[in-house]
Amino acid sequence: MTNDQPKTERQSIDSVQRFDELPLDESILAAIVRAEYEHPTPVQAGLIPYALRGGDVVGQAQTGTGKTAAFVIPLLDRVARMPRQRNPQGLILVPTRELAVQVRGEVVKLSHGQRVSCAALYGGKPLRGQIDKLERGVDIVVGTPGRVLDHIGRGTLRLNGLNVVVLDEADRMLDIGFRPDIEKILRRCPRERQTLLLSATVPPPIQRLARRYMQEATELNFCDTTVSADTIEQFYFTVDAERKFDLLDRLLKRESPQQAIVFCRTKRGTEKVYRRLSSRRKDVDCIHGDMQQRARDRVMAKFRERKLTILVATDVVGRGIDVSTVSHIINYDLPQFCDDYVHRVGRTGRMGREGVAYSFVTPEEGNELTRIEMRINRLLERQEIEGFEAVASAVKPEDTEEPAAEKKPAPKPGRRPPKRYRRAL
């Protein structure tokens, strides 16, 4: 372990253009072709060569950029070159169950034709099945920190054969309180190992984690300062809280999205919006942390198979959703944290497809909108739906019985970042 600052590099463009330029095992190259990945994405082109050299890497990258394959490919290459053993060689820690399932899917896809077995360990599923699988021997484990620690405590997961540890969406794992579990797990991993840390942001707690548990990590930054500005259009509506649902209804009718995720802040709010929507249309479902894992898996499968058009979701479960056909993100409630805005909006416009994001902003939320705009370094454009009065102040004075002078105009959301921030942008 070292206290050295990580070496920071912004990955240059002279990195590889084709997968077969990388010194990868033939079986992996074949699986990449089969997965129809023609060219490495920038994150893959930048990260894979470093990871193949065996050093520790802190990669700043958002979802939707191909970051999963960027760590799965070098991990599989390592597994292919090492003698087979009983205990796992790779451990991938992720913040949510959905992401665990998704990452396992990527491992399965990219290990086609290789004798690699992968187990996903996450809560909400009986331990028994997971224990049976571990006993039969697995090469790669993908799991949420709590459940992984549980298996370590029971002696059903042994870490002594680990060569590679991946911390995926590390910032999110710390946000939701997994730090102590992660540290406990890392302390039990062999010292001689490679650690890859992926995170959309690298705030000081992540830097501390990297300093404490990684060795001379190279830091690679693949994040644009803007959120996929080229492919995602972003708008907002000013709307009274009690008119949000009508606005949603109108917006969905106007847009007829291919697939949309409607983000709400709370589980109750998610349920409420879902119930109201489902009384009008059949192609809608919801997903949040209070639901049984099986129900969540079922909803996600239906959404992936495009049997659902609209998914109402909270941030924790919505964040990792990787469905490339999502055309619309609707922030029914603004997220509590600006970074969640980035993650929500990143659910659309994936792999270069076009996407659009609409945020509902109440007149009281002007400052929150401004904070988001500062975070993404971009002003959102205001929209209105013709003939729909989204805020009370839009009611013309002559339509009311009250004298115009007594009506208080609704405060307008702050449209531009305050001057002192504008200079810094």
Residue 139, SS3 per DSSP: coil
Candidate segments 10-18, 66-74, 136-144, 146-154, binder of ligand AMP by CB under 6 A: 66-74
Between residue 325 and residue 364, which ones bind ligand AMP under the rule CB under 6 A? 350-351
Under rule CB under 6 A, residue 37 binds ligand AMP: yes
Under rule CB under 6 A, residue 66 binds ligand AMP: yes
**H/E segment holding residue 69:** helix 67-81
Residue 96, SS3 per DSSP: coil
**In the complex, least distance from residue 370 CB atom to ligand AMP, rounded to whole angstroms:** 29
- Chain centre distance of CA 127: 26
What is d(CA 255, CA 330) in angstroms, rounded to the nearest whole number?
A: 11
Size of the site for ligand AMP (CB under 6 A): 15
What is d(CA 418, CA 410) in angstroms, rounded to the nearest whole number?
A: 20
Query: In this complex, which beta carbon is closest to ligand AMP, that of residue 41 or of residue 370?
Result: 41
Query: In this complex, which beta carbon is closest to ligand AMP, that of residue 73 or of residue 202?
Result: 73
- State which of residues 11, 27, 68, 218 lies at the interface with ligand AMP (CB under 6 A): 68
**In the complex, least distance from residue 1 CB atom to ligand AMP, rounded to whole angstroms:** 29
Cβ 228 vs Cβ 76: under 8 Å: no
Candidate segments 46-54, 64-72, 277-285, 379-387, binder of ligand AMP by CB under 6 A: 64-72
Q: From residue 187, how far is each of 72, 149, 183 by CA, in Å?
A: 23, 11, 6
Cα radius of gyration (the chain): 23
Under rule CB under 6 A, residue 111 binds ligand AMP: no
- State which of residues 24, 27, 31, 40 lies at the interface with ligand AMP (CB under 6 A): 40
Under rule CB under 6 A, residue 82 binds ligand AMP: no
Q: Across-strand partners of 361?
A: 238
Query: In this complex, which beta carbon is closest to ligand AMP, that of residue 18 or of residue 212?
Result: 18
Query: In this complex, which beta carbon is closest to ligand AMP, that of residue 139 or of residue 322?
Result: 322
Candidate segments 60-68, 84-92, 154-162, 296-304, binder of ligand AMP by CB under 6 A: 60-68
Q: From residue 358, how far is each of 62, 231, 260, 277 by CA, in Å?
A: 20, 14, 11, 17
**What's the one-letter identity of residue 198?**
L
- State which of residues 63, 163, 348, 362 lies at the interface with ligand AMP (CB under 6 A): 63
Q: Across-strand partners of 423?
A: none
| Helical axes 267-278 vs 244-255, angle rounded to 10° | 60
Q: How far apart are the first and last CA of the chain?
A: 36
Query: In this complex, which beta carbon is closest to ligand AMP, that of residue 32 or of residue 159?
Result: 32
What is d(CA 268, CA 205) in angstroms, rounded to the nearest whole number?
A: 31
What is d(CA 103, CA 119) in angstroms, rounded to the nearest whole number?
A: 10
Which of 290, 356, 341, 289 is closest to 316 using CA atoms?
Answer: 289
Under rule CB under 6 A, residue 215 binds ligand AMP: no
Under rule CB under 6 A, residue 231 binds ligand AMP: no
Residue recorded with tokens 């495009």: 306
Under rule CB under 6 A, residue 65 binds ligand AMP: yes
Candidate segments 62-70, 222-230, 267-275, 308-316, binder of ligand AMP by CB under 6 A: 62-70
Query: In this complex, which beta carbon is closest to ligand AMP, that of residue 200 or of residue 210?
Result: 200
**In the complex, least distance from residue 274 CB atom to ligand AMP, rounded to whole angstroms:** 25
Q: From residue 149, how far is each of 121, 154, 238, 363 by CA, in Å?
A: 10, 9, 45, 45
Candidate segments 48-56, 58-66, 138-146, 224-232, binder of ligand AMP by CB under 6 A: 58-66
**In the complex, least distance from residue 107 CB atom to ligand AMP, rounded to whole angstroms:** 11
**In the complex, least distance from residue 15 CB atom to ligand AMP, rounded to whole angstroms:** 13
Query: Does the CA dihedral 300-304-308-311 come out positive or negative?
Result: positive
**In the complex, least distance from residue 286 CB atom to ligand AMP, rounded to whole angstroms:** 22
Q: Which residues bind ligand AMP (CB under 6 A)?
A: 37, 40-41, 44, 63-69, 322, 324, 350-351
